[in-house]
Structure 1
Amino acid sequence: MNGTKTALVVRGGWEGHQPVEATNVFIPFLEDNGYGVRIEESPKIYADAEYMAGVDLIVQCMTMSTIERDEFQGLHAAVENGTGLAGWHGGIADSYRNTSDYLHLIGGQFASHPGKHPDDRRGDQSDNYVPYTVNMLPAAADHPITRGIGDFDLFTEQYWVLADDYIDVLATSTQKVRAWDPWHREVTSPAIWTRQWGEGRIFVSTPGHRVEVLEDSNVRTIIERGMLWASR
């Protein structure tokens, strides 16, 4: 590894989120910003306390999967002591569903991505792609992650998120009520947020389903800035 700072990329889980291809989008950016990058294909590395103490930034892209107790404790200790944690979509907001302490750490959890009308579904991932707007909040106007970025539209999975009020929300998206939906009023979920945990910073972007979404100029800029913001 080269560079004066250390970034740990932990990737894996459900292959539909392209964990290898997706993280490869951002590794050159990290290297260009002075990070030596280490790649791991499981969260086992989190249990190595000596190594984790020197990590400045964790970029996690691990959808679902599981995490062992010592691995989570290592991750939690690293963040609490100042290691940044950043990620997008299911790679951070739908990881380790069976570990409630992880959900507490992140502050927002994927619940659903309501899809197209049943008659329009084809049995593939696109069944869950809908048009929606990412709405920037006033707090985003001067934040280093989102400064200069206005509302923007996407056609991809729209996350319905369960969240607490300790997250600092920079952008939201609103799930509409459609004729076939069982809910009766619009639901607004956080789409981009940060969180302070001990000495560490956490950054989450719910847009980022696949590489083509990550290559949207707004999404990519927000994630690149979010990684740098979260880093020690």
Structure 2
Amino acid sequence: MPDALVVRGGWEGHRPVEATELFVPFLKSHDFDVRISGTPAVYGDAALMAGVDLIVQCVTMSSIEPEALAGLRSAVAAGTGFTGWHGGIADSFRASSDYLQLVGGQFATHPSKEPGRLCGDETDNFLPYAVNFTPLGREHPVTAGLDDFELTTEQYWVLHDDLIDVLATTTHPVRPWHPWQRPITSPAIWARQWGEGRIVVSTPGHSLDVLQHPTVRTVIERSMLWATRTASES
């Protein structure tokens, strides 16, 4: 029976408890023994981490102690899978460059509506956009067979390195109220090999309704199965 560690916390706007609870039944239905932690400090427990096959993280912003980060990096390099969505993995521990190197991509912004339509709440950053699968994504086990899809929610602009395998992208168009002068394409879903471990990041997932979108949910669930140590060793 594989062991999954769900680590949640950080900024409450992403509803880390409710969001992760959407996926706990899926893990249990696939025979994972699920442990839940409300703090990334658990990564510093070397004995516990040695037996973890999969980490599902939902910790937006927040901070991490050096010992915990070292434990996370060591576990992934040794074969533990690491996955998550949106700010819970792509906007975690902003002050830690070693974490950013591990994940391979970092949230930079989510562009807003035009100034005349702003109302001062989170919907100011809800834009209609498309997620388009790459040729690699159309063959990769996490995303094979899925069709391009559209969402109206935060569209992540991501800074990234070229060690990631981009499975899907999204393009930020030129709009007169934004300062960029040409369309910007960002990775929306990516996979990454780190030592013996597999990492998958899905940027859609700001709210529970987005996580329940059929394609978003399928990607996240497949990511859990593909990244887990037992899968990578099979």
Counterpart of 1:29, as a letter, is F
**SS of alignment partner, residue 38 of structure 1:** strand
Residue 87 (structure 2) pairs with residue 98 (structure 1): no
Match of 1:68 among 57, 65, 68: 65
Task: Return the alpha-carbon distance in structure 2 between the equivalents of residues 139 and 42 of structure 1.
Answer: 34
Match of 2:107 among 105, 110, 118: 110
Counterpart of 1:204, as a letter, is V
Task: Return the alpha-carbon distance in structure 1 between the equivalents of residues 123 and 189 of structure 2.
Answer: 22
Q: Who is 2:223 aligned against?
A: 226
Q: Who is 2:11 aligned against?
A: 14
1:107-148 Cα offsets, whole Å, 9 max, x none, are 000000001111111111111000000010011112111111
1:150-178 Cα offsets, whole Å, 9 max, x none, are 11000000000000000000000000111
Task: Return the alpha-carbon distance in structure 2 between the equivalents of residues 167 and 184 of structure 1.
Answer: 26
Task: Return the alpha-carbon distance in structure 2 between the equivalents of residues 159 and 197 of structure 1.
Answer: 23
Task: Return the alpha-carbon distance in structure 2 between the equivalents of residues 146 and 16 of structure 1.
Answer: 28
Which structure 2 residues correspond to residues 155-166 of structure 1 after superposition, within 5 A?
Answer: 155-166=152-163
**SS of alignment partner, residue 123 of structure 1:** coil
Q: Who is 2:207 aligned against?
A: 210
Residue 201 (structure 2) pairs with residue 201 (structure 1): no
1:196-221 Cα offsets, whole Å, 9 max, x none, are 00000000000000110000000000
Q: Who is 2:165 aligned against?
A: 168
The Cα RMSD (Å) is 0.5
Which structure 2 residues correspond to residues 25-44 of structure 1 after superposition, within 5 A?
Answer: 25-44=22-41
Match of 1:81 among 68, 75, 78: 78
What is the TM-score with the length of structure 1 in the denominator?
0.98
Residue 25 (structure 2) pairs with residue 23 (structure 1): no
Task: Return the alpha-carbon distance in structure 2 between the equivalents of residues 141 and 111 of structure 1.
Answer: 26
Mark the runs of 5 or more structure 2 residues left unpaired by the alignment.
230-234
Task: Return the alpha-carbon distance in structure 1 between the equivalents of residues 50 and 78 of structure 2.
Answer: 8
Mark the runs of 5 or more structure 1 residues left unpaired by the alignment.
none
What is the TM-score with the length of structure 2 in the denominator?
0.97
Task: Return the alpha-carbon distance in structure 2 between the equivalents of residues 205 and 130 of structure 1.
Answer: 17
Q: Who is 1:127 aligned against?
A: 124
Counterpart of 1:171, as a letter, is A
Counterpart of 1:20, as a letter, is V
Question: Segments of 4+ in structure 1 off by > 4 A?
Answer: none
